[in-house]
Structure 1
Amino acid sequence: MLELYFEGWFQCRLARDPDPSDEKRGISGAAFATVYEPDLDRIIRLNKPVASRAMYMPTGHQVPEAGVSVKRVYVDGRNDDAHPLAGARVDLLAKAMFQSLNGVFFTPGNEIIDPFHISISGENLTLSRKDLWNPAKPGLTMYDLPLDSPLLQRRKPVSGDSGSVDLREATGIYDADAYMKKRIRDLQTAIAEKQQARETAGPGEEQELDLHIAG
């Protein structure tokens, strides 16, 4: 039996309450797409994030790099560090998204992933598999299922303690309140730095600085 354990950070650009789940720019919620950024598309990107704002943050601010890969491989219960899938890249294909339809299917933070097509790509080996709602009906979508269908349950996230030691070690965030306060201070510093740079910019430099300020 082959067991793969993968981990990492991913990107998902989506609107937040009270905006509708399909809002593209962000109006009333806590997430917005700036004028120079693409729409909020809800796509789960395990690698190759788009419109990253990491470059706009001041030095020292914690900005994890998006990327999910295989960390451990077990074959028949034995660890195999030399396996061709060790270190392999993991992706969700076909524009996988978190789906809840404004809480109709599931509550925020407990959305299902749909569609679910996972790809694991090593140097000389790739595994790819779709999770169909019903293999006998490959065209079936989540909208064809009743809300109480047990099939929906398997796409829900695995429950866990948001304050667990494992999660804190994985994220490097040991004090959520202090982290958020520092993030606000860093954002304010970044805005002030870009605005100061714009005020002292030479001819032809304003447009590039406007992009940084908008980011």
Structure 2
Amino acid sequence: MDASGDRTVKRPWSLSDDLSAILSRLTPDWPRLAGKRLFITGGTGFIGRWMLEALADADRRLGLGVGVTVLTRDPAAFAAKAPHLARHPGFRCVAGDIVSLAPDGERYDHVIHAATDASAQLNEHDPRRMFDTVVEGTRRALDFATAAGAERFFFLSSGAVYGAQPWAMTHVAEEWLGGPDCGNPRNAYAEGKRAA
């Protein structure tokens, strides 16, 4: 029973509910991916994996025929964590690292760049490497997209680019001029994302 006295039993939200909500909200956009080839960096990370879940679900329900190539440092580890995605007939994992990404001679319609080493340990102990990985990785992804003849390049950034959110601010507007303290080496990740 809730505070209003409602005795309706609500089932917990599920992955299926999330995927249905994504499918519904993107209804006008899904047809644009029909028959397209995508290359995704960072597809095995938290956000990237959710994108793959949504793409796999939309492909299954709508018959998009989308082809997705996913760059990952460890295809076997990804296959162990998400075997249903690794086995998806339209998905292919290729081993590689964003800082050494080079054109593969293939044509891709869209490149989605979500790769970054968001390791707090790397940010703490080697902030320069963190910064360089973010910036050089983005440069490599852009060069890759150009060589692949991509129509679109989609870059996933981070809320870290805005710095610490003031307590009184409930939402950070895109045009907000705040940012991380560039004098603090612990902000190498955020500054790298801003530079990229």
Under a length normalisation based on structure 2, what TM-score does the superposition of the two structures give? 0.23
Structure ranking higher in strand proportion: 1
Under a length normalisation based on structure 1, what TM-score does the superposition of the two structures give? 0.22
Determine which structure has more spread, i.e. the larger CA radius of gyration: 1
Structure ranking higher in helix proportion: 2
